[in-house]
Structure 1
Amino acid sequence: MSAILPQAQALVSGLQALMPSVYQQDSLQALLGLFLEGQGSPLPEHCKTKSASALSRFLNEYKWPTRQVIRAVRQAVLQQILSQPRVGRRPTLQVILDLTTVEKVGKFKEFKHLIRVYNRKRGLHLVMLYLVVGQWRVPWGFRIYRGKDTPSPAKLGLRLVKSLPKTLTQQFEVLILADTAFGSNAFITRVRKLKHHALVGVPCDRRLEDGRNVAQLHKRGQQLRLLGLKFPVHLSWYYFKRSDGKLEKRYVLSTKALKGSTITWWGRRRWGIEGFFKTIKHRFGLHRFGQQTLLGVYRWLVLSLTAYLLAHWAHLHLEGGGARPDWGEAAQKALELLLPLMALFPLLAEIQRLRPLAKRYGLDINVDWCKM
């Protein structure tokens, strides 16, 4: 893990180099600094080095290459993952798909067609692809679900899977983990055509070719044929504890021949993305965008995800990935290691604010600094 910090520093420098002016480089640093405060409220008005209007123009108006920023981040991710030594059989790449809602209230005229009610939640509905391999946790990409009569979450998920580069998928055995929203025959068939394996949730009333449904099965891991599916699959289940304390039986289908206990184990692994959703929202402010343009919202989401990656890398650099991260601490460490001026400016601003009070008590504090 010793090479992580230099690679993270190189990424931050590379992102700044993509900005067309020094002014925009400073704005990028300021925004990443806000996200890396790790308190879940990276609002532009809280910035100590740039005005809220300057950051708003950076997100919504200025011409800087958003797609090149995404490519640079992905390239850094690939470099890190593929550079790790491997011994033995081909390792598994967990590709977790799920849909999360960035809940919003109010009116958004520029992209009102994207703010919809789905599953009784109003907001922006994101289909997210999240990679897990070894100690690495990587949000690779997202698509916006636009509601009825548009591509379903399962179709959007397939597009995300197809976006994975061959340099990555050829090095790993790809296992797609997803919930029941992605358990359609079409989704499972397409994953198989891509030569990947799928392990997805299925509802209890899913029919078999012999007329039974999966709720009538009593043996974990048995091979069976689902109605409308042209190849056999394997099924197991586990008990999920709901928020009310009750246990709910969840069924899991695997296109790979695995023991029932192994299918159950992998089925539970899908829930790792739920922890990521909580972290990215409540620590890195994914849901706190207030931009009035689609470009501004898109850039906000990209920078929030980038800040999460930087904090994750800082945690791996310091802890080696063995311990569960304290995301507030990891974000602060990333800020200090990768953007040290952004860590110092709030302190200097506070000293400047309290200077008159210090003088009243005979303390004369002189700090030479200027805002960016």
Structure 2
Amino acid sequence: MCGPGLTKRWLPAWLLLLWRLTYVSGDKSRVYLFAPDAVTLEEYSKANITITSSSPVNQSTVIQLNVTYSSRCNYSSVITVPEQVLLPVETTSVTFNVTAHDVGQVTTYLLSNHTDFNNLSLRIRFMVVHSNVLSEINQVIGWIYFLAWSVSFYPQAWENWKRKSVVGLNFDFLALNLTGFIAYSVFNIGLFWVPYVKEEFLKRNPNGINPVNANDVFFSLHAVLLCLIYINQAAIYERGGQKVSRMALFLLLIGWTFAVVSIFLAVAKWIMWLDYLYYFSYIKLAVTLVKYVPQVYMNYRRQSTEGWSIGNVLLDFTGGILSILQMILQSHNNDEWQLIFGDPTKFGLGLFSVVFDILFMTQHYCLYRRPPEYEAVSEQQQD
């Protein structure tokens, strides 16, 4: 795994290469600046930051670093940055030094006196943390819980295939789960890939960082795919006469009606498209609140967890615990405890999943340790 310092050092070069490939046949008079979007420093440390131009400038250019946000009243108590740097004539880069003092965040926008520079909204967000080691640990934890949550879908699919039956797997859970992950995918795709929505996010949160990463998009789309596999298995395997309940259909109708009405409000510009996407994240959170209840009740009614994979539960529990742990460590490392509530969907996923997973483990290992055998006995008696 590459450290954050190495990534930030090579970022301007990669962006410059991308620009050359994209605009090689475009207007040669347009000039672009590139700089790291975010720089993380350990308190009391120093770092060199490079600003790169897409082509050599034809005049000496002054680049001002305008501080627009600081987590503390005086940004200089967090970090020392120069007020301006000089990009000499016929050069393509300039490097300046920053010194971190105390934990906090500072956002600077780059302003230039060069009229040919086009991206005037370029910014650098400096984040000073207690420990870079803790930041690396957070990244490792993030990948572990991402893998745990992703892999957690497979034990149930394997269980269904091995038994050639979905008896014991609640259909209300399947329907609600599919809706939840479709909603979560819409939210992630919109914030990650749609430029107009990302622009709305930056306008509303000029000093914030997009909460959606590439692995979030992959996770949600992967989850939709596995949910569709579950439903396909339910269509071809033994189901025991089970079907989606009226209550679940009613809840789904409410959710999708809310989504359809909201899209008309967004088209009519009564709400922003960003708000529309956040509504989808709330649908996902609401689904997470209720989707496990039918499965818990089915296990109670059958006095068994047969057909409901405990492997799925254990991996989901691992992912939820690590997700919450990462939020706590990140909040401590940044002295920003509001980070825990900054992404309500992610926090809700972790918290509620853990609560229900504990309940499922209690049912499986304590309450209903022996699967019922009355069906097999009944068949033997009939013989």
Same fold by TM-score greater than 0.5: no
Q: Larger % of strand: which? A: 1
TM-score for the superposition, normalised by structure 2? 0.28
